[in-house]
Structure 1
Amino acid sequence: MSTQGPLEGIRVIDLATVVMGPYAAQILGDLGADVVKVESPTGDSTRRSVPRRGDGMGALALNVNRNKRSVMLDLKTEGGKNDLHRLLADADVLVTNMRPGALARLGFDYESLKDRYPSLVYTSAQGFRSDSDLADHAAYDEIVQAASGLTDLMRRATGKANYVPTILADKVCALTIVYSTLAAVVHLRATGEGQHIEVPMTDTMLAFNLVEHLGGHTFEPPVGPTGFYRSLSANHGAVQTKDGWACILPYSPANVHDFFDASGHGDLNDDPRFSTWQAVLDDMGELYGAIEAIAPERTTAEWESLCASYSIPMAAVLDMENASDSRYVQDGHLLDVAEHPTEGAYRAVGIPMRFSKTPLSIRRPAPGLGEHNDEVFAELNRVSVESTDRTKESLS
């Protein structure tokens, strides 16, 4: 099969469910890999997610399964297992987020496969490290947010231990799967050697959170508390303007001085809370509170113009309900209307990366369950026949 993108020629077996693994495999597909999604007879659970227009293709399934082909296999049967082995024999990468115990029972854990497929890049991801007591514990995004400290950060910032309102752990770990797998593919191309990559979600998110929030505990002994002062400051949020919402974020001494002057509140530059940069750093909440009080004096567009003229960071808050009306979104083709063969018109989330030499594209919409069984296995049969013919020629 001909693909387009820098990973053309790489075949990925997507033995994953829900969001994290499928999203990672989709990105590999966007980059040009030939991705074969292996599903059970009941299909990935995202097929039953809501909202949906028809059975078997929920909105979430449309958003994490493009640029793939779907093969339906029953891995509880010997025939299904044999077919997965046929796929792996012709693959470069396996991505899975099945729990270690389940993979071992099926005979598709890394230890069971490494000698049979020495050039396979085997990337597995699960909630907790496979060598920990929690290895086979169920872990969804909210569980990982809690276990990695993200929920505690929300409590410290807002007073309530809420979850971030996006499946951040799933998506950050999906990106970790992608770049880890790409590194292993580079090694594979250089040496012919596969390897096992494990991406434990809790470890990944804890490392992600600690970049800034380790804070004073970066040093031993600590020189201050954990937590990043800006993120955890009072009033740290978007502000209400005369006609909407905006993020207005003076980020340097010059920005603060210019913001007060340009907004007509130059007297605040002499206020002890803002007269020195150290005073601002000592309590960022005071600055954020002042911006919140001043913001309603102008419209969002007026703030955008004023801040741009002084290079003060500012952005209007995007209303997700009307995202497709945004000129920026439209110009970037980030939510173009496309036609799905079974679901009809839908908005296809655009590929954000841009490659000058190997441009990316949406080559396939999300497939139906088992849509490509015949196509994929016919290809494998041709490869097998061609390999046999080449062997006969070399012996003659």
Structure 2
Amino acid sequence: MAGPLDGVRILDLTSNFMGPYASLLLADMGADVSKVESREGDTTREIGPCRNRGMSAIFLHLNRNKRSLVLDLKSAGGNAALKRMMRSADVLLYSLRPKAMARLGLTYEDARAVNPGIVYCGMYGFGQNGPYADRPAYDDLIQAAVGMPVLQSRKVGPPGYVATAIADRVVGMAAASAVSMALFRRERSGQGQEVQVPMFETFAHFVMGDHLYGHTFVPAIGDWGYQRMMNPDRRPYRTLDGYIGVNVYIDKHWHRFFEVSGHPEMARDPRFADIHGRTENIGILYEFLGRVFETRTTAEWLAIMTEADIPAIEMHTPESLLDDPHMKDVGFFTEQVHPSEGVLRTLGIPQQWSESSPELRYPAPRLGEHSAQLLDEYGFSSSEIDALLDSGAAYAGDPRQGHTVDRGKRGRDDT
């Protein structure tokens, strides 16, 4: 057993960031994820640095613990093959718009007809009962639609996007959670179901819990936006030789900080006596912190803050994080030898499990690397697999581009 979802079969028809992040989380938990790709492959295969085309850094991190199957779903043979695989799959995961799935004959009704127990999960831009139902969506669009750039602008000036695919990854996490819960319900009821995870609504749920703020009340009590989060001085603080991240938050933190920083009188100021007053005057406090932290080195402040039990940590870059002593001791960054890409640095599985511990089973797959193998495991005969490959309905990789698939190979391949 390798993870709590060991034995769960997932047909993953997603690409780009959101869907592959959802299936990554499920694959890391032990699910057997068949990454169903077109002949062109997932778009992220070409994003970022690479040693070989089609195996970029972004793709490698989003698609480990999965196996790649190339099917032409617009062809009769490829489409029929997927529907046959659906009979014994537990989950169908997709990120196409629902109308595209309908054109392929892959609606929930189609899936349920061949497998009533299947969990059918779609991730797409907007809920299907609203006027935006047919619109395309990407991370930037959803950030804008929910107001994230405006929230950022109160900190940094003109509206800007968060510097990571935050909407894609948040929605991917929500989808992985939804699939797991649907599987749990099926264990109890025996029933499969359709689960819709729209980006717009899911990301709005994530952001508005902080920023609806005064508009929580009807009529509104004040403005939208959690003031502390948007204040431009809420940032890592410059020290004499670097930067430090600090969260002086509860009453005892502030009282101790006023003391160790040489300003004990501020603890008696009614503006800073409790969290309500501090929230109303957070700009003054952030400006104060900015001045104070510039008076000592990062190491000196870390020692002072640790002694006072005030949350603080040195600010890293993505490069310096690799040398963080905690990350080294927990083994978060590991090296893995990929059969075509050489030595790679990979991200560990963050959780610790006392039983059914997840593992890094597969490196990210080459395009079509496991086509023959997966078709075999789903019950196709050798002659049927050869017919699919010969017709172009399936594809098994190109050895000239570093793909090492043997069309005649059968059984599990843990490389």
Q: Mark yes or no: TM-score above 0.5.
A: yes
- Normalised to the residue count of structure 1, the TM-score between the two structures is 0.92
Deviates more, 1:276-285 or 1:236-245: 276-285
Displacement, 1:277?
5.3
Deviation of 1:157 after TM superposition, in Å, equals 2.9
The answer to whether the 8 A contact 1:330-1:336 is kept is no
1:152 to 146, 150, 153: 150
Q: 1:225: which partner in 2?
A: 223
Q: Does the Cα contact within 8 Å between 2:333 and 2:348 map onto a contact in 1?
A: yes
Q: Deviations over 1:4-45 (max 9, x none)?
A: 111111101110000111111111111011110000011111
Deviations 1:164-213 (A, max 9, x none): 00100000000000111111001111122111111110100111111121
Match of 1:128 in 2: 126
**Structure 2 matches for 1:350-361, cutoff 5 A?**
350-361=348-359
Tell me the residue number matched to 1:392. Answer: none
Q: Secondary structure at the match of 2:114?
A: coil
Deviations along 1:275-325, one digit per CA (max 9) or x if unpaired, are 665542321011111010000112212211211222212121121122211
Q: Which 5+ residue runs of structure 2 have no aligned equivalent?
A: 382-415
1:101 aligns with 2:91: no
Report the CA distance between 1:249 and its aligned residue. Answer: 2.0
The AA in structure 1 aligned to 2:171 is C
Quick check: 1:112 aligned with 2:110? yes
The answer to whether the 8 A contact 2:11-2:36 is kept is yes
Give the structure 2 partner of residue 22 of structure 1: 20
What is aligned with 1:167?
165
For residues 179 and 101 of structure 1, what CA distance do their matches in structure 2 show?
Answer: 24
Q: Does 1:327 align with 2:325?
A: yes
Q: After the TM superposition, which parts of structure 1 deviate over 4 Å for at least 4 consecutive aligned residues?
A: 270-273, 275-278
Aligned to 2:43: 45
Amino acid at match of 1:303: W
Superposed displacement of residue 111, structure 1: 2.9
Hey, what's the Cα distance between the residues in 2 that align with 1:212 and 1:320?
27
Report the equivalent of 2:197. Answer: 199
The Cα of 1:378 is off from its aligned counterpart by 1.4
Give the whole-Å Cα distance in 2 for the aligned partners of 1:131 and 1:268. Answer: 54
Q: Which residue of 2 aligns with 1:344?
A: 342
- The residue that corresponds to 1:292 in the other structure is 290
Count how many residue pairs are aligned between Structure 1 and Structure 2: 382
Post-superposition Cα deviations, 1:92-117, rounded to whole Å, max 9, x if no partner, equal 00111011121111111223322222
Amino acid at match of 2:336: A
SS of 1:115's equivalent in the other structure is helix
Whole-Å separation in 2 of the counterparts to 1:139 and 1:189:
33
Q: C-alpha distance in 1, partners of 2:255/2:171?
A: 40
With over 3 angstroms needed to count, the CA separation of the structure-2 counterparts of 1:374 and 1:248, relative to structure 1, is same
Q: Which residue number in structure 2 is paired with residue 389 of structure 1? A: none
Indicate how the Cα distance of structure 1 residues 278 and 228 shifts in structure 2: closer, same or farther if over 3 A, else same: closer
Matched with 2:248 is: 250
- Give TM-score, length-normalised by structure 2: 0.88
Cα separation, 2, equivalents of 1:208 and 1:181: 18
- Shift in CA distance, 141/277, structure 1 to aligned 2, threshold 3 Å: closer
Structure 2 letter corresponding to 1:361: E
Distance 1:85 1:248, change over 3 A: same
Aligned partner (choices 349, 361, 381) of residue 379 of structure 2:
381
Task: Give distance in 1, aligned partners of 2:332 and 2:30.
Answer: 19
1:183 and 2:189 aligned: no
Percent identity over the alignment is 39
**Contact 2:83–2:114 at 8 Å: present in 1 too?**
no
Distance in 1 separating the partners of 2:201 and 2:270:
43
Q: 1:243 offset after TM fit, Å?
A: 1.3
Task: Tell me, in whole angstroms, the C-alpha distance in 2 between the residues paired with 1:159 and 1:127.
Answer: 28
- CA distance in structure 2 between the aligned counterparts of 1:370 and 1:221, rounded to whole angstroms: 57
* Structure 2 CA distance for partners of 1:256 and 1:183, relative to 1, 3 Å: same
Is contact 1:230–1:236 with CA below 8 Å preserved after alignment? yes
> Structure 1 CA distance, aligned partners of 2:40 and 2:264?
65
Q: 1:275 to 1:197 in 2, by over 3 A?
A: closer
**How large is the Cα RMSD of the aligned pairs?**
1.8
Separation (CA, whole Å) in 2 of partners of 1:32 and 1:17: 20
